A and B are shown apart, each in its own frame.
Chain A
Amino acid sequence: MNVLAIKRLTKKFGDFIAVDDISFSVGQGEIFGFLGPNGAGKSTVIHMIASLLSISSGEIELLGKNIAKHRHFAKSNIGIVPQELSIYEDMSAYENVEFFAGLYGLRGAQLRKSVEEALAFVGLGDKRRDYPKNFSGGMKRRLNIACAIAHRPALIIMDEPTIGIDPQSRSYILDSVKKLNEMGSTIIYTSHYMEEVEEICSRIAIIDHGKIIAEGTKAQLTSIITNQSHIRIEVKSGERVELEGLKAIAGVRSVEREGGWIKVSSDAEVNNLNPILRVLTALDAEVIAVESDRPSLESVFLTLTGRSLRD
């Protein structure tokens, strides 16, 4: 069952078309990635899903209900982690989560339990009485997440949740996202960091200038530009290495010499680096360096738009 269905969604600001006739769906239990450069329209799409912006045309259905007609239902079942920190610095961590969770109808013992669980989940259980103004950037980001998940929404929207934080905190947040998903949450994750999206998302849509230019799993997306991966291996006296053994490895399409390098082209979805190295070892070839040339989402975006994701 689809948790979210977007049908021909458009958003105009005057004459400017920020989101241009996009359609996609998010299945139950998916982590759906929304990848695109700054200004592509990612935040505009999720703000429409969260009813923060009106829709110019099209439809959004959450759990089968049109959100424009069932606004209260839709809002009750969505949790949003905004790109900007959305917390009160003059209220404690506990008070922040309690306040926002209370707006979703949680009361009494159930509210307290949900708040404690949310804070524990993001690793701020022992900081419940502390104030965000004394938190590090990573801790504030975690509190930002706690405020979104306390009411156990059917759909969690995370808009660039790791912006501006240290790698350790980023790793913690990505692990938290995976854990949430394992617990059954459906997540929409937007980012312009391809590595994050590649790591955690089951399906990805690439958006640029308000349009979805590609959608699918990572393998499906990379196959748009190529169905091969390339490994280049620098071997001492490589010109004397027999190549037939390498050609026989599963998935290998071609083997070529490039000066002192051996280039092995394989099917994109096959990871055969270890077998290749074993064959070379068996041939007494001395491996000096290895380079991998696997297609990434960055290269997919570059191929489709002529620009890099970081532009």
Chain B
Amino acid sequence: MNIIRIAIKEVKVFRDVRMLVFMLATPILIMLILGTALSNVFNGSAAIGEIRILYENGNMSSMLESRWNKLVQEASGSGIHFEPASNREAALQDVQAGRYTGFATIAEDGISYTGNDRIGVENSIAQGVLAAFADDYKLALAMADGASVEGVPLSSTALRADYVQEASIDGGQQPSAMDYYAVAMTTLIIMYSAMTAGQLMDNERKRHTDIRLLASPVSRMEIFIGKIIGTLLLNGVFVLLIMLFSKYMFGVNWGTSQLTVFLVLASQIVYALGLGIGLSYIIKGNASGIVLMLIIQLEAMIGGSYFPADVLTGFFGALSQLSPMKWTNGAILQLIYQGSAAGVAPAMLFNIGAALVLLTLSVLLLRRREGL
């Protein structure tokens, strides 16, 4: 009962106008600004960068394989990179997710190609290159008349539609800028709630209300749990309000599985809470706030808060794969725009798992202290 009493006391922070403004107005305002200002970036065209295509060996002859390897080598100089796929299913998922332009199976009887039609221009280029290669190989075979085609140079030829079989994955509905930033700003403001969580116990110490709490017949664990539950409820309400406001005021698409979307966001709230409280116990003093801010900013940058994280390549692209915020954003966008819940479980498991580890550590450190 005292846990509930303490939790309700935490929720009463809702009455703080400054807190309301920060938690509600800030994400909605940024959502509106970025969603309006960057609408062309999401709907218009973009410069073509590197084109990456996965391929598998569908039983190539040594001659075909040799010419294929030459193509791979020469194409990389033009910004087209063919990479061997380790697993067909994983390769198709990567194409669907937009990490690769397409997936090709190279075989003696032809090339089958599956591309992501959301990446229109790159997809066309990939098809063109493969078709040209196919024509080249057939021409070389004809010229060699049974002999080795090693000496026959590769050349560009007209597209031969019958040699290259094409398929495309339906990329599905795409988010507008407003839709994208609705998700991104919601997950960002949830991460910022970690700062508030980090102050949960410290605020009691600063107000000296920890004295009265600890002098009462309420255990430290009851105080700890009550404050966490209250903060969870408070942030859950804020997130719900942001979703509702953005949906009905800005027409943001939160998909048909809005409960699942909310659950993913709720798991992120748990993660943010655990991160804030955990760091406040692990790192003493104001340094915990500084470290927390660094973590939030880094996660925001590589996690898709300011721009889609999929555009990141190289080191930062690899780093973004480690970002829980990217997993959360990705899981929600995939759920809304592809109808796939594939990313939901990993994102939620990580969020809750990390929170459990951090909160358990906090409890262990709390037990070693006198006071909160």
> Given the complex, which residues of B lie within 8 Å of A88, measured CB to CB?
9, 207, 209
B208 and A85 contact, CB distance less than 8 A? yes
Report if A86-B211 is in contact (Cβ < 8 Å); known contacts: A99-B5, A102-B5.
yes
Which chain A residue shows the least CB distance to B222?
A103
Number of interface residues of B (CB under 8 A): 20
Task: State the main secondary structure of chain A at its contact with B.
Answer: loop
| Cα separation A78 to B214 with both chains bound (whole Å) | 12
Report if A75-B217 is in contact (Cβ < 8 Å); known contacts: A90-B15, A91-B12.
yes
Residue of B9, B12, B215 with highest tally of chain A CB at under 10 A: B215
A236: Cβ under 8 A from any B Cβ = no
| Cα separation A311 to B207 with both chains bound (whole Å) | 28
> Given the complex, which residues of A lie within 8 Å of B207, measured CB to CB?
86-89
| Cα separation A76 to B218 with both chains bound (whole Å) | 9
B212 and A91 contact, CB distance less than 8 A? no
B212 and A82 contact, CB distance less than 8 A? yes
A78 and B215 contact, CB distance less than 8 A? yes
Report if A100-B13 is in contact (Cβ < 8 Å); known contacts: A72-B217, A88-B207.
no
B212 and A80 contact, CB distance less than 8 A? yes
Interface 9-mer from A48-56, A118-126, A237-245, A280-288: A48-56
| Cα separation A147 to B208 with both chains bound (whole Å) | 13
B9, B215, B217: the one within 8 Å of A105 (CB): B217
A182: Cβ under 8 A from any B Cβ = no
Q: Give per-residue flags for B1-39: 1 if the beta carbon is below 8 A from chain A beta carbons, else 0.
A: 010010001001101100000000000000000000000
Distance (whole angstroms) from the CB of A63 to the closest CB of chain B: 15
Name 15 A/B residue pairs within 8 A (Cβ), A-sorted: A52-B211, A52-B215, A53-B370, A54-B370, A82-B211, A85-B208, A86-B212, A88-B207, A91-B9, A91-B12, A99-B5, A102-B5, A104-B217, A105-B217, A147-B212
Beyond the given A52-B371, A103-B213, could you list 14 further A-B residue pairs with CB under 8 A, ordered by the A residue number?
A: A52-B214, A53-B370, A82-B208, A82-B212, A84-B208, A86-B207, A86-B208, A86-B212, A88-B207, A88-B209, A102-B5, A103-B218, A104-B217, A105-B217
**Chain B residues proximal to chain A, CB less than 8 Å:** 2, 5, 9, 12-13, 15-16, 207-209, 211-218, 370-371
